[in-house]
Structure 1
Amino acid sequence: MGDSTDDSSIAAHSAQSDTGHDEDEDQGGFFRRIIGAFSPTDGTEGAEDQADHPVQHAVPGLRNLRDMAVEDVAIPKAEIVSAPVNVSKDDLVDLFRDSGMSRLPVYDGTLDTPIGMIHLKDFALRHGFNGQAAKSDFCLKQMLRPLLFVPPSMPIGVLLQKMQAERRHMALVIDEYGGVDGLVTIEDLIEQVVGEIEDEHDVDDDQYYTRESPGCYLAVAKTPLDEFEQEIGLSLTDTEEVDEEEIDTLGGLVFMLLGRVPVRGEVVEHPSGAVIEVMEADPRRIKRLRVRLPGHTDG
């Protein structure tokens, strides 16, 4: 979503610009090469194919640009991290920090009335880094950038091409009634071609977890349970609610406790007293977790 202080999303995460001086200006050649191979000649052919042959758990590859629709990769509305137009400066800082996103949709009243997007860079350059703008001068409307609106049936290759042409890194998915149905970023689309993209805020593949503070760990969902239990000195599987033989990762543990894939920001209380917060997830899988051990749950 909404894009994981990138994380990221977002939710989550974490990309869009309106000026000729943003980071997406150098990406045109790459986009044109991958779009040209498999994007349909018009915006309806791929949509009809998608309706007859829905794609689930697709393997990354160029073919997905034609075979997958926006609705297959979009973040659901319930998981979108957004900001009201009357948000205070301090609350906006908290939203960026807690979500890990660099771009947030802004709405007036409800999310079904989006009015633009706020970019962390615009906000930081105007009000951060010891900027000269006074707190009383904070006006979110003056920093908004336009949003891109797309239907859920649009092939992702067509959307990728549109994003490249209009220099947008984020789009809102609009349903048949004009309401917001989801959110998709350019990273979500590219991941369908090249696989999962991790940034500098992600835990390295060979490093399953890191200790943020005493009793608090940031971990990827595929962290082996036995290795993590040895690190924290606490068993997370020796309870009636958990079948040790059926799970071997932290993500599997959360899924077993809930009986479903959680949404970003959801907090799961483990029977041992540990608290597990879902830092990053999409509709198909859990990605990152924060684990607070008993006695450290308020940190």
Structure 2
Amino acid sequence: MTNESQTRRGADQAADPAAVQPPASWADGTGSEGRDLPLLRGFLGRILKSLAPAGAAGDDEPPDSMMEAATSAAAPSILNLRRKTVDDVAVTKTDIVAVPVTVSLPELVEVFREHGYSRLPVFRGDLDQPLGLVLFKDLAMKHGFAAKGPVPRFALRPLLRPLLYVPGSMPIGALLQQMQQKRIHMALVIDEYGGVDGLVTLEDLVEQVIGAIDDEHDEGEEGLWVKERPGQWLILSRAPIAQVEQEIGVKLVSGIYEEEIDTLGGLIFMLAGRVPAQGEIVTDDSGVQFEIIDADARRIKRVRARLPDMEPPKAG
């Protein structure tokens, strides 16, 4: 997705704007609103119950190998509800798109148009003083999709809806439960000093279980790779590793890893031991270089593969 940190889903939230509360202390990992919440009935409740450890909390058995830890952490799985925390899936503060409460109507419409989001955080002064969030749906219903004549008097504060404020250490399963109960689809990650550290949406959490969710606004990709020039390809990270090996003519995975690595993204994750940043270059033992073209805090999206005897193209 173009920026999966902030979901384009326009699901409504039946919440009172007056209920917006400033970030509180989250030292206990739940916060005052999230403490002693009843277990949900139905599908989500059964999932969370089945994932509860048999013994004391947090005594998960360690993986048999570093390879198992890397590939399992990168892959979507229902187990991620328990083993991943909010910090693992949230986007960083610098990547958050938000607007001040003093924003004008044309400016707000332009931000929605430019980024294609369905909801945006709203702050007073700076992002460390969040007030709530504004839905594009609310804005359109109140002010129309295309203003004619003079711009009407505009005040953003009456349109604000509540945000959740959560610690980075919270398991994503617990946050998913809170989002379902409170019908709030966006949360800000608060650090120990009460400042904003990141942002996570309902879609981000669901994708940790079922994989990427693409909608009609996401740019499609024709095929899994494009050959840019001899010895160089632009490849989607989800491309099956066997097909990539066949295309570039180089064996990338062998031995015990053959049955554990399924995609190019999984291979690069294993080589780096983490999700590499955009622009970073990871080199395989075969000498093939993988340049990270598109990635976010959670996964690699597109990669440029370059054979060992190929030099990077010179600028200009």
User: TM class by shorter-chain length?
Assistant: 0.5 to 0.7
Which TM-score applies when normalising by structure 1? 0.62
Q: Which residue of 1 aligns with 2:13?
A: 18
What is the deviation of 1:45?
A: 3.7
SS of aligned partner of 1:106: strand
What is the deviation of 1:142?
A: 0.9
Q: Which residue of 2 aligns with 1:225?
A: 226
Separation (CA, whole Å) in 1 of partners of 2:41 and 2:142: 28
| Conserved 8 A contact 1:127-1:134 | no
| Conserved 8 A contact 2:5-2:204 | no
Which TM-score applies when normalising by structure 2? 0.59
Q: 1:63 aligned to 2:76?
A: no
2:297 counterpart (260, 280, 283): 283
User: Residue deviations 1:215-263, cap 9 Å, x none?
Assistant: xxxxxxxx5231xx5xxxxxxx5xxxxxx646542789xx9xxxx6339
Separation (CA, whole Å) in 2 of partners of 1:66 and 1:110: 33
Of structures 1 and 2, the larger Rg is shown by 2
What is the deviation of 1:91?
A: 1.1
Change (3 A) 1:199 1:29: farther
SS of aligned partner of 1:249: strand
What is the deviation of 1:32?
A: 3.4
Within a 5 Å distance, the mapping from 1:28-177 to structure 2 comes to: 29-38=42-51, 45=57, 57-129=73-145, 135-177=151-193
Q: Which residue of 1 aligns with 2:30?
A: none
Structure 2 residue runs of 5 or longer lacking an equivalent are 16-39, 238-263, 269-275, 280-292, 304-316
- Report % sequence identity: 46
What is the deviation of 1:183?
A: 0.4
| Conserved 8 A contact 1:86-1:140 | yes
Within a 5 Å distance, the mapping from 1:4-15 to structure 2 comes to: 8-11=3-6
SS of aligned partner of 1:138: coil
* Runs of 4+ with deviation above 6 angstroms: 131-134
Amino acid at match of 2:50: A
User: Residue deviations 1:174-193, cap 9 Å, x none?
Assistant: 00010000000011111111
CA RMSD between the two structures: 3.8
Amino acid at match of 1:283: A
Structure 1 residue runs of 5 or longer lacking an equivalent are 21-26, 209-222, 230-236, 238-243, 264-277, 290-299
SS of aligned partner of 2:188: strand
Separation (CA, whole Å) in 2 of partners of 1:133 and 1:35: 53
Separation (CA, whole Å) in 2 of partners of 1:148 and 1:134: 36
User: Residue deviations 1:129-161, cap 9 Å, x none?
Assistant: 357997332111110001100000000111100
| Conserved 8 A contact 2:48-2:173 | yes
Q: How many residues align?
A: 222
